[in-house]
């Protein structure tokens, strides 16, 4: 009998049910889309913040002070210590290796450069552009093209030579300011240490590199006679904003606390892990980047969290109101059932079961629509999908049932308060 009542109610009141279903589905697609976007926004903005460049820098511990004014390096090539390039691949092997978005090694020294207009002093910088590397089974590319995305090249990026090609002059980049001063342009040949190089592009970085010649690392190593040498490595890592716990000294922690610290992607713990794999290096946060990106990130995520909460509350209220409205219109039905002898509990359970069906169906529809919306938002703004976690489905279904119940319970109670006779007469 109960099932039949339920079934007939859905069959005969299609219009009323579809209004309620539509309201629930709309409310729940808001919930799904906002939860998905709010949950993913941190990662997405973190990726955008990588355009600030590296947030960690590795230097040899024995190194002497940098002597650098206005982009001119006055430290001779022979001075200071170096890091072994072969060791660098270990960077990918640390606990948070997946969070290392890329790294770029640098080897630099002031050089005399022969151009067709005469000799100039400039810095020679060797680095990876987009060097292919293997770690385990993974192949990945790393270098300044991904780590320093603000570097712009007019012309072509040079390849990352494995060794100095003897048959033809290898390609290098000339900094824009140097090119202007020395009258260099794309296709020109220059000479460093008696070896010919060809300029394939003009680099505009807005920084000190604009006054330098930038070559593939292995070319610079050969020209400077320092095989496998690297002076500095900048690392771009996805990190969690620093908090008080992050600043604690791991060596003074209890093992359990230390594990928790070690397994959080703080810049400090990633720096600690880098020091573990690379002997005799200092790893320092590039504080300008690291400290501020956390602040910006937490502001953006915080904003989205609050907006999500507001939207969820709004959706809940609207769905409850819609549910209440449809039930309030059915007081005559309640009156009829009660006058035929139905108890309050039977009437209530009928209405609530109906509400639960509506909630589940509406919740599912809303989830699918919301997931689609979130996907579209991710694609159009960030160019990468926002993936909706399956857990959200459970949350949304639960929320749908809860919200429709909240809307229904009050209305059902109200409807039952009236005397059936009065309701049926149409006076209530």
Partner 1 sequence: MNRTQLLLRLLLKAAWVRKDRAFTALVSVAVVATIATAALTIYSDLEGKLSHEFRGFGANVIVTKNSGALTPGELADMRKIVGSTGEIVPVGYAIATETTSKARIVVGGADVDKLRELNSSWSFSNAGHGSTLVGARVDETLAHGADLQISFGKASTSIKAGTVFHSGSDDDSRIYLPLEDFMRLTSIQPNTALVRIEGKPQQIQSAISQLSAALPDVEVKPVRQITQAQTAVVGKTRSVVLASSAVVVVLIMLCMVATFTGSVLERRKDFAVMKALGASNRAVNFLFASEAALLALTGSVAGYILGCGVAFWIGKANFDAAILPQPLLLLPVLLGSVVLALIASTAPLRLLQQIQPAGILRGE
- Among residue numbers 140 through 159, which ones bind partner 1 (CB under 8 A)? 148-150
Query: In angstroms, what is the minimal distance from the CB of 344 to partner 1?
Result: 19
Residue closer to partner 1, measured from CB, 307 or 424: 307
Q: φ, ψ for residue 325 (rounded to 5)?
A: -60, -45
Query: In angstroms, what is the minimal distance from the CB of 137 to partner 1?
Result: 33
Q: How many CA atoms lie within 13 A of 233 on its CB side?
A: 30
**Dist CA 213 CA 114 (whole Å):** 12
Query: In angstroms, what is the minimal distance from the CB of 131 to partner 1?
Result: 21
Among 98, 299, 389, 413, binds partner 1 (CB under 8 A): 299
Determine contact, residues 238/54, Cβ cutoff 8 Å: no
Site for partner 1 in 25-54 (CB under 8 A): 26-27, 29-30, 33-34, 37, 41, 44-45, 48-49, 51-53
Q: Is the dihedral of CA 109, 115, 119, 122 positive or negative?
A: negative
Contacts of residue 249, defined as CB under 8 A and 6 or more positions apart, other chains included, come to none
383 burial level (CB within 10 Å; 0-12, 13-18, 19+): exposed
Query: In angstroms, what is the minimal distance from the CB of 82 to partner 1?
Result: 16
Residue closer to partner 1, measured from CB, 2 or 150: 150
Site for partner 1 in 328-367 (CB under 8 A): 328-329
Binding of residue 207 to partner 1 (CB under 8 A): yes
**Dist CA 146 CA 104 (whole Å):** 9
Residue closer to partner 1, measured from CB, 156 or 313: 313
Among 280, 288, 339, 417, binds partner 1 (CB under 8 A): 288
Determine contact, residues 273/95, Cβ cutoff 8 Å: yes
Residue 139, CA distances (Å) to 125, 142, 270 in order: 25, 10, 22
Residue closer to partner 1, measured from CB, 8 or 329: 329
Binding of residue 212 to partner 1 (CB under 8 A): no
**Dist CA 237 CA 117 (whole Å):** 43
Site for partner 1 in 59-118 (CB under 8 A): 63-70, 74
Binding of residue 127 to partner 1 (CB under 8 A): no
Query: In angstroms, what is the minimal distance from the CB of 126 to partner 1?
Result: 18
Among 228, 346, 414, 418, binds partner 1 (CB under 8 A): 414
Residue closer to partner 1, measured from CB, 378 or 420: 378
Query: In angstroms, what is the minimal distance from the CB of 345 to partner 1?
Result: 22
| C-alpha triplet 285, 290, 293: angle, nearest 5° | 175
Query: In angstroms, what is the minimal distance from the CB of 111 to partner 1?
Result: 19
Among 5, 286, 368, 395, binds partner 1 (CB under 8 A): 286
Residue closer to partner 1, measured from CB, 110 or 159: 110
Query: In angstroms, what is the minimal distance from the CB of 195 to partner 1?
Result: 29
**What is the x/- site pattern for partner 1, positions 164-203, by CB under 8 A?**
----------------------------------------
**Which pair of tokens denotes residue 285?**
């946060």
**Dist CA 313 CA 55 (whole Å):** 38
Among 381, 387, 421, 422, binds partner 1 (CB under 8 A): 381
Residue closer to partner 1, measured from CB, 116 or 287: 287
Helices (H), 133-266: 144-147, 176-182, 217-224, 255-262
**What b-and-e string marks burial along 122-149, b requiring 16 or more CB atoms within 10 Å of the CB?**
bbbbbbbbebebeeeeeeeebbbbbbbe
Query: In angstroms, what is the minimal distance from the CB of 80 to partner 1?
Result: 11
Q: Kindly state the number of chain residues that form the binding site for partner 1, as judged by CB under 8 A.
A: 77
* Nearest-10 crossing angle of helices 2-12, 344-377: 50
**Which pair of tokens denotes residue 261?**
């610290």
Determine contact, residues 126/108, Cβ cutoff 8 Å: yes
Binding of residue 324 to partner 1 (CB under 8 A): yes
């Amino acid at each position: 009998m109960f099932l039949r009542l339920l079934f007939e109610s859905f069959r005969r009141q299609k219009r009323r049910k579809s209004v309620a279903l539509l309201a629930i589905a709309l409310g729940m697609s808001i919930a799904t889309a906002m939860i998905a976007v709010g949950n993913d926004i941190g990662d997405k903005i973190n990726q955008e913040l990588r355009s600030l460049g590296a947030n960690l820098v590795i230097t040899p511990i024995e190194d002497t002070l940098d002597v650098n004014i206005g982009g001119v390096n006055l430290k001779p090539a022979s001075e200071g210590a170096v890091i072994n390039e072969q060791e660098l691949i270990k960077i990918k092997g640390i606990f948070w290796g997946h969070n290392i978005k890329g790294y770029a090694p640098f080897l630099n020294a002031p050089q005399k450069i022969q151009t067709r207009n005469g000799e100039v002093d400039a810095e020679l910088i060797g680095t990876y552009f987009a060097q292919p590397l293997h770690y385990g089974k993974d192949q990945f590319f790393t270098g300044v093209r991904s780590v320093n995305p603000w570097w712009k090249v007019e012309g072509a990026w040079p390849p990352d030579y494995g060794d100095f090609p003897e048959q033809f002059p290898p390609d290098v980049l000339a900094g824009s300011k140097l090119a202007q001063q020395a009258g260099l342009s794309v296709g020109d040949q220059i000479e460093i240490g008696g070896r010919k190089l060809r300029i394939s592009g003009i680099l505009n970085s807005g920084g000190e590199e604009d006054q330098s010649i930038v070559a593939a690392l292995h070319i610079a190593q050969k020209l400077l006679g320092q095989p496998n040498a690297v002076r500095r490595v900048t690392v771009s890592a996805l990190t969690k904003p620093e908090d008080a716990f992050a600043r604690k000294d791991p060596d003074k922690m209890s093992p359990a606390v230390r594990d928790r610290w070690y397994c959080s992607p703080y810049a400090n713990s990633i720096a600690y892990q880098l020091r573990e794999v690379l002997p005799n290096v200092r790893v320092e946060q590039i504080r300008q980047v690291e400290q501020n990106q956390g602040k910006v990130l937490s502001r953006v995520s915080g904003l989205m969290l609050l907006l999500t909460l507001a939207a969820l509350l709004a959706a809940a209220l609207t769905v409850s109101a819609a549910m209440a409205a449809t039930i309030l219109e059915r007081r005559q039905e309640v009156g009829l059932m009660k006058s035929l002898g139905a108890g309050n509990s039977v009437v209530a359970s009928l209405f609530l079961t109906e509400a639960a069906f509506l909630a589940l169906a509406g919740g599912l529809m809303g989830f699918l629509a919301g997931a689609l919306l979130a996907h579209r938002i991710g694609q159009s703004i960030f160019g990468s999908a926002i993936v909706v976690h399956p857990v959200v489905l459970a949350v949304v279904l639960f929320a749908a049932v809860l919200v429709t119940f909240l809307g229904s319970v009050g209305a059902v109670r109200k409807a039952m308060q009236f005397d059936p006779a009065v309701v049926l007469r149409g006076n209530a």
